[in-house]
Amino acid sequence: MKSGISRRAERVALHGTRSGRRARAVGAAVGALAVATVGFAPSAVADDVQSKQWYLGPMQAEQMWKVSTGKGVKVAVIDSGVNANTSSLKGQVLTDEVPKSVAYRATDDYGGHGTTMAELIAGTGAGGGLKGLAPGAKIVPYRVKFENLKGGADELNKTPEPAEAIRAAADTDAKIINMSFGAVGPSSKEEEAVEYAASKGKLLIAAVGNDGRKAGDTIGYPAAYSYVIGVASVDKSLTVSKFSSSGNYVDLSAPGQGFPGWCDTNFRSYCDNVNGTSSAAAIASGAAALIWSAHPDWTVNQVTRALIDTAGRTWAKNNPSKYGGYGLIRPRLVLAKQNYDAGPANVDPLRAENGGDLLAKSAASSTSSSSSSSPSAPSSSASTPSQAPEKGSTGGTSAAGSSTESSKDDNTLWVVLGAVAAVVVVGGGGVAVARARRAR
């Protein structure tokens, strides 16, 4: 267990340390601090919405896009569905690549949550819409069951469970699986699906939850599963959001508060301050897409290690914060160095916390099976996931208990579809954690 450092003591800068010192740029393309001057055309949909995406300037998005836009990377968005017809998502959503088994109404989004996540990841910003951190990436939409789903029993029966969508996404060429949803307890089917996807080399990113203000605050699932990067939220002052859940499952933090998102079911206008760890997870997925696009030969281990090693933090790397994890994402530090060394491809940087290196186990199993295969003893598939150490279960199911509140600091579909995560400062003391994934 980590020491109970308060959130207020864990302030981090997007471009430096607590004192605000900027890290020296390594490459000319990502060198200078960019001002928030992202161009857009006013429209009836949104007025000046991109200027409200305060993080694009400090993260030097315009400079990063000179190196990478996320082109060539597909991100599976498992959520409330993705409206492919918003001005910012036209041409960005690969509806034909959703596996038929989980394709039911994948582009119908009744609340705007999944569409917001998709735009934060890969929106082009056309028509004055949200600009994604990786506007060159593509979105593969998955609509899953959640409480209060419209359409009644028939609709529920036809809509896939999150576990089904995770498995289906694992069998595609999507590199990243964004899961801005959660539940208070684990599901054995969902955990097995997560391990399966991890064994396939997918980067799984999830929102940690919006229960930071509640007594007994705990991280939600799937963020709390091994092999999932749990993302917390930070506000404009680079302080961990007060609503962001905390605990030993928080791995990274990203902007998740103080910018617009969809809240109109007719997609006529954005709402300001649609806050939650859901958005933070989406922005982290966008950051990963930028890195993977610039280094297409890297493995999930190398992308994860690059995100961790370059994260902004004021605490020791070997003592991650239960509020901000290993720190605030800073993909520009990876993109600024053309020959960035991301370490060994086959070593999971979080193997100690995850209970082992799943990719290495799968590779070893595949090699062993291939060498010993014979007509009487068929080899097992390399896609069969290695089993992680057994974890306790509280009997909870993943897509149940969706919040229907429209709180200013609660993305409305957290317990099913996530809430925006906050990053590194929030006044407050220690918070109870259900169980520790990390040994320390």
Q: Name which of 280, 210, 211, 242 is nearest 427 in CA terms.
A: 242
Catalytic residue among 245, 278, 402, 403: 278
Sequence-distant (6+) residues with CB within 8 A of 374 are none
* Contact partners, residue 67, CB within 8 Å, separation at least 6: 27, 29, 30, 294, 335, 336
Q: What are phi and psi of 291, to 5 degrees?
A: -65, -45
Beta strands per DSSP E along 42-152: 74-79, 138-143
Q: 113, 233, 279, 309: which one is catalytic?
A: 113
289 in Cβ contact with 137 (< 8 Å): yes
* Catalytic-residue membership of 79: yes
To which residue do tokens 């200027």 refer? 51
A 10 A CB-CB count for 41 gives 10
Neighbours of 316 (CB within 10 A): 8
Catalytic option among 15, 79, 180, 285: 79
Does residue 226 carry a catalytic annotation? no
Residue linked to tokens 């992202």: 38
CB 110 within 8 A of CB 150: yes
CB 209 within 8 A of CB 417: no
Q: Tell the residue number behind the tokens 């968005």, with chain if given.
A: 77
Asked if residues 301 and 349 have their Cβ atoms less than 8 Å apart, the reply is: yes
- Element (H or E) spanning 155, and its range? helix 152-158
Angle at 67 between CA 42 and CA 328, to 5 degrees: 80
Distance CA 126, CA 105 (A): 24
Gap between the Cα atoms of 416 and 405, Å rounded:
13
Comparing CA positions, the residue from 397, 353, 391 lying closest to residue 182 is 397
> Which residue do the tokens 């119908």 mark?
108
Classify residue 203 by burial, with Cβ atoms within 10 Å: 0-12, 13-18, 19+: buried
What gap in Å lies between CA 16 and CA 391, rounded to an integer? 38
Catalytic positions, written as ranges:
79, 113, 278
